[in-house]
Chain A
């Protein structure tokens, strides 16, 4: 029984961690390239969740299609908001303005969604939510299998994109030194836009994946964003590998804290871990070696 529970909680932790990673990756990408925290990221997650919900319930699309749709909605919104709000503010040369603008965008989006979708929680059920696979005392819903599969594929694709494509290498170059990358013929503004689009698309997709798991209201994204920030810090700001590792660790820590301590202590344990990391390894689990690349 004990082994079964340990294994079950490991599965639960990996599922939760995968969701956290999807949310945190967008944050870390934006920070890596722009050295900017995007406080509106949570609301891109929420909007992605609603996009998937309405595509399924109004158009009758399948869940997998709705995940793709949320990805596209996130990408489109990221492009729109970056082009109309963040880019003009960035041109003014004050780093603080876009940062404050992300707070404004967040509040605006929350209230727009509150006006459009209302405050009553939506039940986001998919055909996979209640289908459960049971073996040797372990249970996994098909929903969770999809979460792990889609997250793994997305993370692998993102990793490959960053590591092996020209654009990915250019993004890493901009994140390491924007000015030098510019001297090498890379257009930082285009790459900043690309970063925003990818990060927002990931947030939208994370929303569609999270929606059946979390409580879908206009404030849904805010409930995971604090953990996502913690994961980004634990993993090392701007570091994709570190974020993946930290997300999975936090998911597992939550599961085992629930099992062996108390779910009421989850935040204490997770943020205790965060403080510990800041004290002993402030650059995160896997730190960027920016200086070497200058």
Chain B
């Protein structure tokens, strides 16, 4: 009898230990997310705001985990450029060995990273690069939740022609894959509709003074819209220079500056009255009444004491979409890739997500238009 008790005790103890061990092991499981964000150079405002969105998502997810998994993020500075991005991606893959990577923001950097993730067979989830080349041809390991330059460009040109009755346009763009690509799509669509492009003016990222460009634009005659594709810093200077030259509404002219997803929230306040009437696509509309948007905005404000920007929002969505894939069984690079590809009508704070065969999000509800009002606040135009 004594021996039977002893055997029973040992058995229960062993089972208990195994159970505890298994539970502990389950809690230790981690999905490793590599983050390629620009944290230095002219695009570093992307990285700063992306990190806030990621931080909030991690805080929420890691309270209880998902399917027994916690989430850990390793950041690398990819500097919005091809060379630093490839170096950062290699460092991440070799040292951190991520299950999935998020980023980059700038198209040139993302395009440079894509062959590396393809070779390493690690999924890359992108939320900020608009170049069509990211998904066409793309590769089977790269996914994009952001509407690409063609989706945005066609929609913007269509709205410029039909809603704003624009017939003459001048294109201003930085000489990068994204800048040139965005401008080209607008031009193709706008001219097909019957509009006329008076000039296409490209410039490097090292241009500081836009007075000369604004002078040239002012000499082109009647202009209805000026689609502009630059990062925030140059965008500010262009908007101010165009107003000083009396071209845009902000300077007493008739032209309206329009743009796709490049600029962060707060741009209007920095640009001042020069930005009056600026209409641009953003990836996140905080005035949406969906619960996901309201909850995100409230949580963000509670954590950072600031209203969220679209960069905060799309970084948050990237992590939350990965968590959704993990919830559906994703546990490593291959299963996360497959889970992303199988995503159907996922509802994020920026809009919904469903990938086509090129891994491009097909949903247009991620395209939100905002217009700058005279008091430098903005209004959501609800065009989509």
- Which A residues are closer than 8 A to B by beta carbons? 1, 5, 8-9, 12-13, 15-16, 19, 114, 118-121, 123, 125, 129-130, 132, 134, 139, 141, 144, 210, 213-215, 217, 219, 223-224, 226, 254-255, 258-259, 262-264, 266-267
A119 in complex: contacting residue of B39, B216, B236, CB < 8 Å: B39
Question: Considering the complex, which residues of chain B in the window 222-252 have a beta carbon less than 8 Å from any beta carbon of chain A?
Answer: 232-234, 236-237, 240, 243-246, 251
Answer yes or no: B137 CB below 8 A from chain A CBs: no
**Chain B residues near A210 (CB, 8 Å)?**
208
B30 at the interface (CB under 8 A from A): no
Give the CA-CA distance A214 to B205 in the complex, in Å: 12
Q: Evaluate contact between A264 and B202: CB separation under 8 angstroms.
A: yes
Minimum-distance CB pairs A-B, first 3: A215-B233, A119-B44, A123-B270
> Is B208 a contact of A9 with CB atoms below 8 Å?
no
Q: In the bound complex, do residue A263 and residue B203 qualify as a contact, i.e. CB atoms below 8 Å apart?
A: yes
| B1 at interface, CB cutoff 8 A | no
> What is the minimal beta-carbon distance from A36 to any residue of chain B, in angstroms?
25
Tell me if A267 and B204 are in contact (CB < 8 A): yes
Interface flags, B189-225, vs A, CB<8A=1, else 0: 0000000000001111011110111011001000000
Residue contact A119 to B48, C-beta cutoff 8 Å: yes
Q: Is B131 an interface residue (CB 8 A)?
A: no
Residue among B48, B209, B272 having the largest count of chain A Cβ atoms under 10 Å: B209
Q: Does B138 contact A (CB under 8 A)?
A: no
Please, how many angstroms separate the alpha-carbon atoms of A118 and B233 in the complex?
14
Chain B residues lying within 8 Å of A141, measured Cβ to Cβ, are 244
Asked if B40 is at the interface (CB within 8 A of a chain A CB), the reply is yes
Is the Cβ of B209 less than 8 Å from the Cβ of A217? no
Docked Cα-Cα span, A8 to B269, in Å, equals 29
Known contacts: A213-B208, A214-B208. The answer to whether A130 contacts B232 by CB under 8 A is no
Once the chains bind, are B215 and A217 in contact (CB under 8 Å)? no
Residue from the list B41, B49, B207, B240 in contact with A129, Cβ < 8 A: B240
Determine if B209 and A16 form an interchain contact, defined as CB atoms under 8 angstroms apart: yes
Q: How far is the CA of A262 from the CA of B203 in the complex (A)?
A: 8
Look across to chain A and name the residue whose beta carbon is closest to the beta carbon of B39. Answer: A119
Asked if residues B42 and A217 are in contact (CB atoms below 8 Å), the reply is yes
In this complex, what residue of A is CB-closest to B45?
A120
Interface residues of B in 255-295 (CB under 8 A from A): 269-274
Taking A130-B274, A134-B246, A264-B203 as contacts, is the C-beta distance between A255 and B212 under 8 angstroms?
A: yes
Interface majority SS (helix, strand, loop, mixed), chain B: helix
Residues of A near B232 (CB, < 8 A) are 120-121
Q: Are A226 and B209 closer than 8 Å at their CB atoms?
A: no
In the assembled complex, which residues on chain A have CB atoms less than 8 Å from the CB atom of B47?
A: 119
A223/B206 in contact, CB under 8 A? yes
The contact of A217 among B39, B233, B245, by CB within 8 Å, is: B233
Contact present for B39 and A15 (CB under 8 Å)? no
- Whether A5 and B215, one on each chain, are in contact in the complex, defined by CB atoms closer than 8 angstroms, is yes
Is B212 in contact with A258, judged by CB distance below 8 angstroms?
yes
Tell me the bound Cα distance from A217 to B45 in angstroms. 10
Instruction: Mark B81-116 against chain A: 1 for CB-CB distance below 8 A, else 0.
Output: 000000000000000000000000000000000000
How many angstroms from the CA of A130 to the CA of B207 in the assembled complex? 20
Contacts of A12 in B (CB 8 A): 209, 211-212, 215
Chain B residues closer than 8 Å to A226, beta-carbon distance: 206
30 contacts between A and B (CB under 8 A): A1-B219, A5-B219, A9-B215, A12-B209, A19-B209, A120-B45, A121-B270, A123-B271, A125-B272, A129-B240, A130-B240, A130-B243, A130-B274, A132-B251, A144-B211, A213-B208, A215-B42, A219-B40, A219-B41, A219-B42, A226-B206, A254-B209, A254-B212, A255-B212, A258-B216, A259-B212, A259-B215, A263-B207, A264-B175, A266-B207
- Asked if B212 and A264 make an inter-chain contact with CB atoms under 8 angstroms apart, the answer reads no
Asked if A118 meets B244 with Cβ closer than 8 Å, knowing A224-B208, A259-B216, the reply is no
Given contacts A123-B270, A267-B206, 4 further A-B contacts (CB under 8 A): A15-B209, A120-B44, A215-B233, A259-B216
With most chain A CB atoms within 10 A of its CB, the pick from B48, B211, B216 is: B211
Supposing A8-B215, A12-B212, A141-B244 touch, asked if A263 and B201 sit within 8 A by C-beta, the answer is yes
Shortest CB distance A84–B (Å): 26
Nearest-Cβ distance from residue B362 to partner chain A, whole angstroms:
32
Q: Check B212–A130 contact: CB distance below 8 A.
A: no
Tell me, in angstroms, the Cα distance from A5 to B272 when the chains sit together. Answer: 26
* Bound: A144/B272 CA distance, A: 18
Nearest-CB residue, chain A, relative to B44: A119
A130 is contacted by which of B41, B244, B269 (Cβ under 8 Å)?
B244
On whether the beta carbons of B246 and A139 are closer than 8 Å, the reply is yes
Interface residue from A19, A139, A144, A258 paired with B245 (Cβ < 8 Å): A139
The residue on A at minimum CB distance from B48 is A119
B172 to chain A, nearest CB (A): 9
A217 to B201, CA, bound (A): 25
Q: Once the chains are docked, how many angstroms separate the CA of A259 from the CA of B219? A: 10
Q: Closest Cβ of chain A: how far from B51's Cβ, in Å?
A: 11
Q: For residue A213, which residue of chain B has the nearest CB? A: B209
Closest chain B residue to A110, Cβ basis: B40
Residue of B203, B209, B215, B236 near A123 (CB, 8 A) is B236
List B contacts of A16 (CB < 8 A). Answer: 209, 211-212
A226 to B233, CA, bound (A): 19
A264 to B230 Cα, complex, angstroms: 14
Contact residue among A121, A258, A263 (Cβ-Cβ distance under 8 Å from B233): A121
Closest to A254 in B: B212
State the CA gap A120–B39 with chains docked (Å): 10
Chain A residues whose C-beta falls within 8 Å of the C-beta of B274 in the assembled complex: 130
In the bound complex, do residue A123 and residue B42 qualify as a contact, i.e. CB atoms below 8 Å apart?
no
Q: Which residues of A contact B175 (CB under 8 A)?
A: 264
- B341 CB, nearest partner CB in chain A, Å: 34
Q: How far is the CA of A23 from the CA of B49 in the complex (A)?
A: 32
CB pair B213 A15 closer than 8 Å: no
Q: Which residues of A contact B212 (CB under 8 A)?
A: 9, 12-13, 16, 254-255, 258-259, 263
Among B219, B245, B273: residue with most chain A CB under 10 A: B219
The residue of chain B having its C-beta at the shortest distance from the C-beta of A120 within the complex is B45
Pairwise interchain contact A263-B213, C-beta atoms closer than 8 A = yes
Q: Are B48 and A214 in touch, CB under 8 angstroms?
A: no
B43 to chain A, nearest CB (A): 9
User: Does A266 contact B272, Cβ atoms closer than 8 Å?
Assistant: no
